[in-house]
Structures are given as C-alpha cells and as structure tokens.
Amino acid sequence: MESGTGFKSHTALINAQTLETMKNERNQTMYSMQSRTDQSRITQSSRRWRPTLLSTALTAVLTLWMSNARADHVYHNISAGMLTVSQIPGWGTAYLSDSTLDDNTNCIVTLGLSINDFRAGTFNRADYNVQAGPTAANQYLNGILIPSIAQNGRTNAAADSLPGETTNAYPIPTIITNANGSYRICSWNVSAAGTGGSAVEYNVNVAGAFFP
C-alpha cells in the first residue's frame, strides 16, 4: 500500500512539474509573440512618420528658398508701369462746332500701376513721356525702355474723337528719345496705313518697363 502511494505521489509531482513547464513555455511564447507584434507596430508607425517628416522638412526648405528668391527679385531695379490713356470727353462734339481745335491735345493720361518708381510725364495724343525715378533727362544712357500695348483692340468714342477716328484699331507701340535724352511711348494705328510712314497716332492704353 505504501509503495503504491509513493508511486502515485511521485507521478503527481512529475505531472505538476510538466504542467508548470508547459505553462512557462506557453507564457514565453506569448511574450515573444507580443514583443514581435509591438515591434512591428513601432516599425510601421516609424515608416508612416518618415514620409511625413521628410515632407515637412522639404516644405520648410522650399519655403525658405522661395522667400529668398522673392527677396532677391525685389532688388532687380527694373521700373515698370501701366498708363491709362483716354480721350477728352466731348472733344469730338466740340470739334464739330470749332474745327480749329488741335486734335494733338485730345489726350488724358493717368498712371494706373507703378513698380520701382515708374512715373508718367507730360503727354499729348499718342505720345506719353515716362521715366524711372525723379530724373528723366538722359535716361537712354542708363537703360532701355520696352513698351507694350495694354489693350486687345481699341475703339475711341465718336463723341470724343475726330470724325472717322473711331474705327476698330489694333495699335502698335514704339519708343522715341526726346531731345533731353528722356523716353516717351508712342502708339500708332497701322490698320489703314498703305505706305511706310503713313501710320496715324492713336490713343490706347500702354505699359512700359525700364531695364537699367
């Protein structure tokens, strides 16, 4: 009886030890699996963050670069502007009553846009004096003026124009150097020109840029 009881006790002890060993192995396995899962999550999170961090860094670099680029362009010293050119309201109607009126005076110029101190000077029909800065004289020695027409076609109102001067016009611009070395922009209607030198002056909005 005692021998049988001892055997059973020994067997129970072995079974208990085996069960404990299995529990420990199971716990180690679960811990290892959890560790790998956590590591995978960390890795995936890191991968998700990398593009975001890279994008943020690139955005910051580009922002700084563009700011510097814009700052550099501020100092290019190019002066530019746009002139709004109008007829004197009612000039054409007045001409019908007094044909001695000088059409060369039929012009109103206002400076619509100015960059780097671009200025409008004196003017008459289709002749618009301009300058960069306070001194107009001898600007041709310091740079070139590039003109442009600022309208895609122009028809001046009959009430403000000479008879027959209201035809749809697509003028061209030129520049002329005045006697004192200053610049002026001129605008010409060439649609009715049959021979060289037969273009007529025509009021139209213009723009100009002075490149030193």
More confident residue, 69 or 179: 179
Q: How far apart are CA 166 and CA 161, in angstroms?
A: 7
Residue the block writes with tokens 């593009």: 51
Q: How far apart are CA 86 and CA 64, in angstroms?
A: 44
Question: What confidence tens digit (pLDDT) does each residue in 92-117 have?
Answer: 999 999 999 999 999 999 999 999 99
Per-residue pLDDT at 8 exceeds 60: no
Q: How far apart are CA 82 and CA 126, in angstroms?
A: 14
Q: How far apart are CA 91 and CA 25, in angstroms?
A: 107
Cβ atoms 167, 155 nearer than 8 A: yes
Reading the block at residue 41, the tokens are 């999550």
Q: What is the pLDDT of residue 86?
A: 96
Q: How far apart are CA 165 and CA 155, in angstroms?
A: 8
More confident residue, 131 or 153: 131
Reported pTM: 0.64
Which residue type occupies 18?
T
Per-residue pLDDT at 146 exceeds 50: yes
Reading the block at residue 3, the tokens are 């021998």
